[in-house]
Chains A and B, each alone.
Chain A
């Protein structure tokens, strides 16, 4: 078993007791809720005549169903309006803070928590959403939970969990031009598999991780779950503290910063911490990664050939065959030149300011291909406003992108933004499952945001490094 890691320390600090099941009862420092997975939990609470135990440690937003074009109320779609109304009612009754669309603070739950300083090192954070792992970028212990567990947290401020093993993933070296955090995590999942992380929490470390800004670290932690790990984290450091200092919470409570810093330092993994497993990755070797299949583990370097199912481990062959049929790709070829109908720049993986800035650099002075429908959906209203002030909106619109309001949008196609028929999308999101983007015949190619920009302007999967050469030549 691991010892002296951030995971061990934060777990110990939050453990209330061991339950008769052998699971630990863990205190939850921050409970984030959204409209899709919380209403049933509030319903269960009502059935049992229970109240929310810690409303002040709970924070709500609306993201999955919120329309990103016309946001006037009532929403055009009845089901969306009903879900929103239900959430409004639930948070009002319980006295829970709500970053609603009129506040200017609304956005995808995994974008707004860090923005507002709710996400902090050494906290336990849960949300009824598997990408809660994102918050681990700050050295928090953050994981997704199901609706029955949401009920537990609402009613008791705790969850029942079993402790897991810790795998350290050390990423050494430096990332090359056009290669990003997203490529690191796609590479990790490709190597360790979509279930490689089951039973583990991932600690991301090494020079390449330390050199990333908070947004890059969030992109990596975000997709831990795609590798089967329910949580992933990075030890807090100066980069983390600089971000925290700028957030609302610490701007409003500056004395808290000095007060909490010793705690943050104390929960960092010890130099001589023990891990259950250690994996190393060389960042120098990476190139932009794109997926060729229908699981996030089916990735390949943009210039590398798509593997033949026969050369994969036996358990993966059947899935690979079906995926290649669905995607209509041929083993032996590269993904370069794969025709794209939609370019989606959004989601909790890659819709923060630096993501939009890097993509904007690529499209500056270029035009979206005539056959491509391209949209930018900022991760939050704050990202949106800052991007508008910086002129990014203009850059995108001049190039032919649609500029939308904040939400999950085409990441999962619960609002009107969906793929149609068998459209292929170049997507900065995290899941390429069949049907994920709203059409069961739709085809999703996951990639980093610069690569999405490149695909938008050329109409096909393109190695963004080539466009960069043209620009600098």
Chain B
């Protein structure tokens, strides 16, 4: 084993923060982070480019967008509609949102690769039906400074006087709550079985399997 055991993986059993509503179905990752901002070899600094083309016009003047509004600066819970994060697999998308300040996303539904990328960063993507989400979006709009509490374990979201049931994908819930969402260390510890699996597969050349560490 290497020193991967030492990597601290925090448990994420709840997230709290004020909300920011982003309206619209099928918001793709090209909108969340346009490809031209991906010409970078690290994720640092992506936050300022989140939703760039929806936030700024050709002359870099601000457009109407929640992320430009003063009242939503400091918000950390994004409330979105259906099929959020569809399209490209770029992890740059959740990285940009995270670096802008987002810690959790509540929505009607998420594209799978996007949700997986969020999980890898410890960002929960919890879902509820369309009506519930629209009510929450409207509430956030009225109450931009008020806290939303997401209880991952109990699959509940509390805001104002309301507590609503939400769904957290089972594997995601376990991973977040038990602090095993960073899978590298976990899987590295099975290196012996992995080698065995490689040896069993007919198409893997012996030469492609390195000596055991």
Point out residues on A near B: beta carbons under 8 Å. 13-14, 16-17, 19-23, 25, 27, 29, 36-37, 39-40, 43, 48-50, 53-57, 64-65, 77, 79-80, 82-83, 86, 120, 122-123, 128-130, 144-149, 151-152, 155-160, 162, 194-195, 198-199, 225, 228, 230, 259-260, 263, 295, 315-316, 318-319, 322, 412-414, 431, 433-436, 438, 440
Known: A27-B201, A162-B171. A130 touches B87 (CB 8 A): yes
Q: Contact: B111 with A228, CB < 8 Å?
A: yes
Q: Contact: A21 with B174, CB < 8 Å?
A: yes
Selecting from B36-44, B70-78, B145-153, B159-167, the interface stretch reads B36-44
Q: Contact: A195 with B187, CB < 8 Å?
A: no
Determine the chain B residues whose CB is within 8 A of the CB of A230 once the complex forms. 112-113
In the assembled complex, B83 has its CB within 8 A of some CB on chain A: yes
Q: Contact: B40 with A156, CB < 8 Å?
A: no
Known: A39-B42, A79-B39, A195-B82. A433 touches B91 (CB 8 A): no
- For the complex, give the distance between the alpha carbons of A242 and B91 in Å: 37
Could you pull out 6 A-B pairs where Cβ atoms are within 8 angstroms?
A19-B180, A19-B186, A53-B194, A120-B203, A159-B183, A260-B202
Q: Contact: B116 with A146, CB < 8 Å?
A: yes
Known: A120-B203, A230-B113. A56 touches B208 (CB 8 A): yes
- For the complex, give the distance between the alpha carbons of A57 and B87 in Å: 27
Determine the chain A residues whose CB is within 8 A of the CB of B43 once the complex forms. 40, 147
Q: Contact: A49 with B3, CB < 8 Å?
A: yes
In the assembled complex, B88 has its CB within 8 A of some CB on chain A: yes
Q: Contact: B203 with A260, CB < 8 Å?
A: yes
Determine the chain B residues whose CB is within 8 A of the CB of A436 once the complex forms. 30, 35
In the assembled complex, B198 has its CB within 8 A of some CB on chain A: yes
Q: Contact: B171 with A148, CB < 8 Å?
A: no
Interchain nearest-CB distance for B112 vs A (Å): 5
Determine the chain A residues whose CB is within 8 A of the CB of B89 once the complex forms. 37, 128-130, 144-146
Determine the chain A residues whose CB is within 8 A of the CB of B41 once the complex forms. 39-40, 43, 82-83, 86
Q: Contact: B31 with A43, CB < 8 Å?
A: no
Q: Contact: B120 with A149, CB < 8 Å?
A: yes
Q: Contact: A148 with B120, CB < 8 Å?
A: yes
Interchain nearest-CB distance for A94 vs B (Å): 11
Known: A48-B4, A86-B41. A130 touches B31 (CB 8 A): no
Q: Contact: B204 with A57, CB < 8 Å?
A: yes
Chain A to chain B: the 7 pairs with minimum beta-carbon distance, closest first: A148-B120, A146-B117, A56-B208, A79-B39, A147-B91, A130-B89, A146-B91
- For the complex, give the distance between the alpha carbons of A159 and B182 in Å: 11
In the assembled complex, B28 has its CB within 8 A of some CB on chain A: yes
Residues 10-39 (chain B) with a chain A CB within 8 angstroms: 24-26, 28, 30-31, 34-36, 38-39
Q: Contact: A40 with B42, CB < 8 Å?
A: yes
Q: Contact: B183 with A152, CB < 8 Å?
A: yes
Q: Contact: A433 with B31, CB < 8 Å?
A: yes
